[in-house]
């Protein structure tokens, strides 16, 4: 959930002062767009992957503080709960052997994490939702010891006037419950792909990422189970949206302006529209005084943006020489099931978004936003079986669309980026085999339960064994 802060309690004056600074920094950002102040650099990619710490029985292990102390690596950081961590990949220019380099870096970091975890009698797991997780694990006592997390929880509950979160998910089974805090969010672990883009191209790339959210979430689904219930193919999506549900402000009844959202429309001209939307529609949650930081780094704007969890989120960063740059964070994919699967998913996303963003017909002209959003939730619910409406009114199942159109399009996108052809073939081949067979991580978990019965411990331990093999999920035995 982002950068650490120095306090978790705030006054009315703190909110007023933060609002003033946010307005000023948003105006500065507007000047940067008009003056074309951004670094003319694009095609730089990286990612974050969230993971679980689990004990030898497959149960969540509340060890992240001890684990992180032993890792002592700035690329491995805490997450909301004491049984989650986040691994970060250094940014790379997309081209040549970039995919293979990503794979090597993540593999190396993963092996180090496993060695450190073993010293704590634990293992690290990559899976969207841990099958053995219980609602009783998700208490504020299991929150990581960071002011940011305490403050977000306190502020969301204050704006909800103490009302608990209401979780209602209808899938293969039904789940309905109330939860007193934001810790449900800790049940969702993601693979978040970052891409740096030039401002002139950023709107096209952002809109392409929105449209591609449906096929990406279907092809990568790995979260069918929550608290013993089989729900959506990618249950992370409704769980995160409802687990950090914040009505309030002037848009209490508009789901497009919830804190976790697919959004309300495409970007028309520039990513500035999203930062202006942040200012207009999202009251600050963390009104921290960052006046000691240079205003030219827009610290309040960046902190505020980090408390709005769009499934596709604009990010503002800076080059070594201080020039600002823009990134798009694609947040729809789950963690796991294997490292080859993760790099294959990255290859699919980077190839598709580059090809679609540069298509002759802009995405908004070919696919109404309402359909893009409907496609996303249908894909999260039904996975590869989902029937969607694609560009120019074409109707197809996501499995058919991926095999017939999107995988070839991703290959063309990677070719345009001059990614090594053999690497592109290898990683997109993993996706093609997964989609053709229907054997996503979610499908593997469902089939395991159907064959062996409702035993989340056995499911988790077998999943971890298969993950350690290093083979992609479509090759896993039940």
pLDDT at 337 over 80: yes
Whether residue 226 lies inside any domain: the answer is: yes
pLDDT at 3 over 90: no
Predicted confidence at residue 5, as pLDDT, reads 57
Q: What is the pLDDT of residues 6-50, one digit of tens each?
A: 566 788 999 999 999 999 999 999 999 999 999 998 999 999 999
pLDDT at 306 over 90: yes
| CATH code where residue 300 lies | 3.30.590.20
- What whole-number percentage of the chain has pLDDT above 70? 96
**Three-state secondary structure call for residue 314:** strand
Q: What is the pLDDT of residues 56-78, one digit of tens each?
A: 999 999 999 999 999 999 999 99
Whether residue 31 lies inside any domain: the answer is: yes
pLDDT at 254 over 70: no
- pLDDT bracket for residue 310 (50, 70, 90): very high
Mean pLDDT in residue range 261-290:
95
Whether residue 90 lies inside any domain: the answer is: yes
pLDDT at 313 over 90: yes
Whether residue 266 lies inside any domain: the answer is: yes
Residue 94 lies in domain: 12-475
Whether residue 6 lies inside any domain: the answer is: no
Whether residue 1 lies inside any domain: the answer is: no
pLDDT at 367 over 70: yes
| 438: DSSP letter | T
pLDDT at 51 over 60: yes
Contact 47, 191 (CB under 8 A): yes
Mean pLDDT in residue range 325-353:
98
Q: What is the pLDDT of residues 88-143, one digit of tens each?
A: 999 999 999 999 999 999 999 999 999 999 999 999 999 999 999 999 999 999 99
pLDDT at 334 over 70: yes
Predicted confidence at residue 247, as pLDDT, reads 57
CA–CA separation, 122 vs 66, rounded Å?
A: 11
Predicted confidence at residue 257, as pLDDT, reads 79
Mean pLDDT of the chain: 95
Tell me which of 151-165, 251-265, 405-419, 438-452 is least confident.
Answer: 251-265
CB-hemisphere CA count at 13 Å for 286?
27
Predicted confidence at residue 256, as pLDDT, reads 63
Q: Hey, what are 229's tokens?
A: 């219930």
Tell me which of 40-44, 174-178, 406-410 is least confident.
Answer: 40-44
Predicted confidence at residue 252, as pLDDT, reads 44
Mean pLDDT in residue range 383-390:
98
Whether residue 7 lies inside any domain: the answer is: no
Whether residue 5 lies inside any domain: the answer is: no
Predicted confidence at residue 10, as pLDDT, reads 84
Residue by residue, what is the 3-state secondary structure of the chain?
CCCCCCCCCCCHHHHHHHHHHHHHHHHHHHHHHHHCCCCCCCCEEEEEEEEEEEECCCCECCCHHHHHHHHCCCCEEECCECCEEEEECCCEECCECHHHHHHHHHHHHHHHHHHHHHCCCEEEECCCCCCCCCHHHCCHHHECCCHHHHHHHHHHHHHCCCCCEEEEEECCCEEEEEECCHHHHHHCCEEEEEEEECHHHHHHHHHHHHHHHHHHHHHCCCECEECCEECCCECHHHHHHHHCCCCCHHHCCCHHHCCEECCCCCCCCCCHHHHHHHHHHCCCCCCCCCCCCCHHHCHHHHHHHCCCEECEEEEEEECCCCCEEEEEEEEEEECCCCHHHHHHHHHHHHHHHHHHHCCCCCHHHHCCHHHHHHHHHHHHHHHHHCEEECHHHCEEEHHHHHHHHHHHHHHHHHHHCCECHHHHHHHHHHHHHHHHHCCCHHHHHHHHHHHHCCCHHHHHHHHHHHHHCCCCHHHCCC
Predicted confidence at residue 250, as pLDDT, reads 41
**Number of domains composing the chain:** 1
Please tell me which residue, 253 or 213, carries the higher pLDDT value.
213
Predicted confidence at residue 441, as pLDDT, reads 98
Nearest CA to 199 out of 287, 315, 65, 308 is that of 315
Predicted confidence at residue 245, as pLDDT, reads 87
Nearest CA to 206 out of 56, 85, 353 is that of 353
């Amino acid at each position: 959930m982002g950068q650490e802060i120095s306090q978790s309690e705030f006054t009315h004056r703190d909110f007023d002062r933060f609002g003033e600074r946010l307005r000023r920094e948003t105006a500065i950002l507007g000047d940067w767009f008009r003056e074309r102040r951004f670094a003319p650099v694009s095609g730089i990619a990286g990612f974050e992957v969230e993971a679980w710490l689990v004990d030898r029985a497959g149960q969540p292990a509340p060890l992240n503080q001890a684990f992180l102390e032993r890792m002592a690596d700035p690329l491995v950081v805490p997450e909301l709960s004491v049984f989650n961590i986040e691994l970060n990949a250094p940014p790379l220019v997309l081209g040549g052997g970039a995919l293979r380099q990503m794979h090597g870096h993540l593999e190396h970091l993963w092996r180090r994490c496993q060695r450190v975890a073993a010293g704590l009698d634990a293992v690290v797991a990559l899976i969207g939702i841990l099958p053995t997780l219980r609602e009783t694990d998700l208490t504020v006592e299991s929150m990581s010891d960071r002011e940011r997390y305490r403050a977000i929880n306190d502020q969301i509950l204050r704006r909800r006037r103490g009302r608990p979160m209401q979780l209602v998910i209808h899938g293969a089974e039904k789940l309905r419950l109330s939860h007193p805090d934001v810790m449900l969010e800790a049940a969702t672990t993601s693979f978040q792909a970052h891409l740096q883009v030039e401002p002139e191209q950023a709107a096209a790339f952002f809109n392409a990422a929105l449209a591609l959210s449906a096929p990406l979430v279907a092809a990568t689904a790995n979260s069918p189970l929550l608290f013993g219930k089989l729900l959506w193919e990618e249950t992370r999506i409704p769980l995160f949206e409802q687990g950090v549900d914040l009505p309030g402000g002037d848009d209490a009844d508009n789901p497009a302006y919830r804190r976790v959202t697919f959004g309300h429309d495409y970007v028309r001209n520039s990513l500035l529209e999203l930062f202006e939307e942040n200012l207009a529609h999202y009251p600050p949650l963390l009104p921290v005084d960052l006046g000691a930081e240079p205003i030219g780094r827009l610290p309040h704007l960046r902190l505020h943006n980090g408390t709005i969890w769009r499934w596709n989120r604009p990010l503002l960063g800076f080059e070594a020489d201080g020039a600002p740059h823009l990134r798009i964070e694609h947040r729809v994919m789950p963690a796991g099931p294997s490292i080859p699967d993760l790099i294959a998913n990255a290859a699919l996303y980077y190839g598709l978004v580059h090809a679609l963003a540069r298509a002759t017909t802009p995405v908004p002209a070919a696919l109404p936003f309402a359909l893009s959003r409907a496609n996303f939730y249908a894909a999260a619910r039904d996975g590869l079986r989902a029937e969607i409406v694609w560009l120019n009114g074409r109707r197809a199942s996501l499995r058919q669309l991926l095999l017939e159109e999107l995988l070839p399009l991703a290959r063309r996108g990677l070719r345009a980026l001059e990614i090594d052809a053999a690497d592109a073939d290898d990683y997109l081949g993993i996706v093609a085999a997964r989609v053709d067979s229907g054997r996503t991580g979610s499908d593997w978990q469902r089939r395991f339960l159907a064959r062996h019965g409702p035993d989340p411990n056995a499911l988790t331990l077998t999943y971890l064994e298969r993950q350690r093999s290093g083979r992609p999920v479509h090759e896993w035995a039940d």
